[in-house]
Structure 1
Amino acid sequence: MVDTKSWLKYQKSLCREISDTSTMIFQAFFDCMNFTSWFFLSFVLLILSDVIRNRRPRNFPPGPWAVPLLGNIFTGVDYKTMHELAQKYGPVFSLRRGSERMVFVAGYKMVKEALVNQLDNFVNRPIIPLFHVILKGLGISMSNGYLWKKQRKFANTHLRYFGEGQKSLEKCIEVECNFLCEAFKEEQGRPFNPHYIMTNAVGNIISSVVFGHRFEYSDPSFRKILELDNDALLLAGSAQAQLYDAFPGLMKYLPGPHQTVHTNYREIMTFLNREIEKHQEEWNPDDPRDFIDAYLSEMEKKVQAEIDRVVGQSRLPTLTDRPKLPYTDAVIHETQRVGNIVPLGLPKMASKDSTLGGYFIPKGTAVTTILSSVLFDKNEWETPDVFNPEHFLDSEGKFQKRDAFLPFLAGKRVCIGEPLAKMELFLFFASLLQRFTFRPVPGKMPSLEGVMGFNNSPEEFRMQAAPR
């Protein structure tokens, strides 16, 4: 019979020896690890983590093997390569750019299935980092949901006719045909490059619709815009520029063709903004000349049309009308968000020792919340730096609350005047827009830059209020 005490003593001694041996092994392991070894170990763990995290989902479309961390960035992005991949993997296949998976559809049968038979399933536009930097998810091409539906409906309505006397698009094209033929005639049969003459002609049709005028083929400023656009489109299709879509956080700090794409489009946007500002100064809502004028008029009356439909002109708006005026409500909320009236909340004080973000905050420490960082948080708002009422509208055009909308603070110290302020904002705003159309003084657009004090207030300005 085994002595229990001796057996337990033996077991403890054995465990101690195993523990000491394990400690010595781990100590020896760490002692022999130099910087290169640690770097290699970290790299292996990083790769393993990427492989596990980015495993192909069950029954996901097939595709070529993806390089850990990088994906299929070495696979060509041209259409010929896509054809070859479709031949190898079938009409529905996938690639990986960084950690993002992309599905490609080839052949009439599957393309029709995606775009026609399942048209509602594949209608939204993903964020394309290369263009999102400039377009920020706005416009017909990059927007989604309610915003996209309204933009597309407006464009379809107003692109049919435009300008003085409702000239047709056909007439506009006929006029440009004469200029185009004259430009070709001036070459007198000599060899010449027709590229920018043709591009200028096509651009002039768009310019006539959007700006209300065309540009001479010899105009250096418009020629530069055409060249910038042409270069950007060519570079956007290059494999190097596609790297930006895979790793935008890293690539934005590195040189490459994506930087040229962004620079070119910023110059183009500056050109477009000058045209818009000129239209705003000369705008007459009773005589729209082109697409920009029509768009400015639409911007003016979106709220007014909703108020007219729900409230009419025989009475003032009431709070009971608010649920039926989602767009009006959204404009008010977006104005508050962008207005950023109180960028910094009044300081609070820690009433006891606390922990915030993993940091120790001793009792009595003053704590200030930066409200502007919430109202413009890129992780909370689709287009934080752009006035966009659709932030507060769902895909059906109904008003939706947003948790990150905190102009009155939050918690126990929330502004006590919030209910009163909300009533004032809605009733004042709806009543004024019901009765008046507001316009800037010609040539004197109000500044959108606030005057910084404790609060953020607008610079003094003058405006015109035309009774409706």
Structure 2
Amino acid sequence: MLVIVLILFVLFFLFHQLLWRRRGFPPGPTPLPIFGNIFQLSGSEAPGISIFKQWRDRYGPIFTFYMGPVPFVVLTDYQDIKDTVIKNGETYADKYLSPEFNKYFRGGEYGIMDISGDRWREHRKFAILQLRELGVGKSLMESKILTEVEELINKLRLLENTDFVLQSEIDVAVGSVINQFLFGYRFDERRLHEFHKVKTLVNNFMEEVGKPLGVLAFTCHGFPEFMIKWMVSGQITHARTKVDHNSDHNDDFVEAYLRKQHQKEEKEDFDSYCDAQLENVCFDIWAAGFDTLTNTIGFLIAYAINFPEMQKLIHQEIDEYLGHGHRLLTMSDKNSLVYFNAFANETQRMANILPLNLPHALTKDVTINGYHLKKGTGIIHQIANVMTDENIFKEPHIFNPNRFIDLDGKLRKCEELCPFSMGKRQCLGEGLARMEIFLLAANLFNYFEVNSCLLSKKDCLHCSRISV
């Protein structure tokens, strides 16, 4: 009798897991009980590209896969994504994360990246305002980035003919730009230890949550909330001692936040702009603005090494544009360097830094292509598949900057190139990132030829171009 009951229980469990719970969702790969499709995802050669392409080819542009016991509806067609996340953005604006994640990792519903609702809207708006006020898109932020460009160029000249890791030097430059925005100072030689501490923590976090099994657990073991405090609380405490609440001028993001916090507290509001929120927002800006950008520039350098004939075209374009004079390139020069911009666009398309887009959640019931999905359902707008869609980009796995140049020799606009995502959750630091990519990478090619040192197996530079 017990055996019969056990068999019936197993059959009922399998029926529920494999059939019943999947009703009403778009078709997709059969999930394993408890684990879902996690092993297929983690075993994929290129998560978010190869396995998602296989699923798209088999089930269509809209399908369902399971991250553990949780179903996620995946949109891989650009038009479907445009019709949902852009045209009906508020419906797809929530973030899908379990309460346990934020409680363990952040100490509550704090930050910008992993929360939803009024706090997310308020603080995203505040962060965008401060990016604008502190000079993104203006000469103020440009001058700060160019300071890092000059420091990088001078340091690389000193390191010439020695073994060094170019990526590490780029990391410091990008980290200094972020820290100038947040705390108002760069990482000079005296403060490099601070940079290495922050870089290690951010990299550990990105590595952990980038693993499918880490996402399955919805938690980052070894990186709980107190690690965020340790990462930024010292700088925040120091900034608090300097802030003048009677002034209306802000030199950095934290100073602006502390003034806003003081104004709120004078009105007996001690929650909306609290210390825990500031710590988490600082971490989010680091996590979103550092790893992805340094990797993008790293890929750009790697493609230049692997396609030397294209690198020569970049050098030729810069030399012809600057003529006999020689100076740092600025944002006013950007539109004139068509081939470099096309090369950068193709790098972002091919590198595909975010192979698995971060999951959103529905704020209300919707119908997508005949499928009725309830509020709270997880949605993934898979931009990685858009940027490798052969119907949009011919021969998508071939590196070809010319696809972004039209017949008149001008840079072709391509809305399907969406490395910063789309909709309400689009990267809020996109403007800053685009400035950094151009000013850092274009000026590296302005002053150096980049190749691979076969003996040391490390990236190196030959300063055989014009010196100043």
| TM score, norm. by length of structure 1 | 0.50
Specify the structure having the higher radius of gyration (Cα): 1
Q: Which has the higher contact order (CA 8 A, sep 6+)?
A: 2
